[in-house]
Amino acid sequence: MDRLDPARTALMVVHMAKGVAGEVDTPFNRLFRHRAEETGLIGVQARLLDGFRTAKAKVVYTLVTYQPGFPGVRPNSPLFRTLIDSGCLLEGTPAVEVIDDIAPRPEEPVVRGQATSGFDRTELDTILRLAGVDTLVLVGIATDVAVESTARGACDLGYRTTVVSDACTADSDAAHARSLDVIQKWFGETPTADQVLSALG
């Protein structure tokens, strides 16, 4: 892949919450925690974080967080019906904090929204543009849900978009592969973490 300029590149960690990939029990944790463990993606993400921080590139996190009663959330899809029925991922609970192994540093923004795309009704685009970022490297869960949605949004907004193939996962290998195929065909690049780190500098 082409070189990544640290001054213009951000690593975006998507929905790596304790209630999604960590130890807090939710319907989403039951789908994805074992996948995170099987694939070793948290270790890959930690290595990318080390590389980006060493290169002085920007790091930003996105999470979903909801208020009790889920005001403004409609049960218009299986995803949101599951969310409302389970009453999980509520503001102020451990479920909506980043897992400890890849926790943000105090200076790293954590952008909280209520949709699958990190750009939907959040300040994410403003934060990135004010920092001079025009290139995004995405990691997280799930490849075919929040990661792909955020990648599509990034592409629409004009960012050079990269999804790190071995630093994301879905609820199955097949779903992960299908999503990567769509991203690579239409929206951006899908290199490995090693390729990203080699290009950073």
pLDDT of 181 reads 99
pLDDT of 157 reads 99
CA atoms within 13 A of residue 30's CA, in its CB half-sphere: 6
Low-confidence ranges of the chain (pLDDT < 50): none
pLDDT of 113 reads 98
What is the C-alpha separation between 111 and 103, in angstroms, rounded?
Answer: 14
Q: Which residues are 58's β-sheet partners? A: 10
pLDDT of 82 reads 97
pLDDT of 36 reads 97
- The model carries a pTM of 0.97
Q: Other C-beta atoms within 10 Å of 88: how many?
A: 20
Domains contained in the chain, CATH given: 6-199 (3.40.50.850)
- b/e per residue, 89-119, with b = 16+ CB within 10 A? beeebebbbbbeebebeeebbebbbbbbbbb
Alpha carbon 55 to its chain centroid, in Å, reads: 20
pLDDT of 158 reads 99
pLDDT of 201 reads 76
What's the token pair of residue 104? Answer: 């943000």
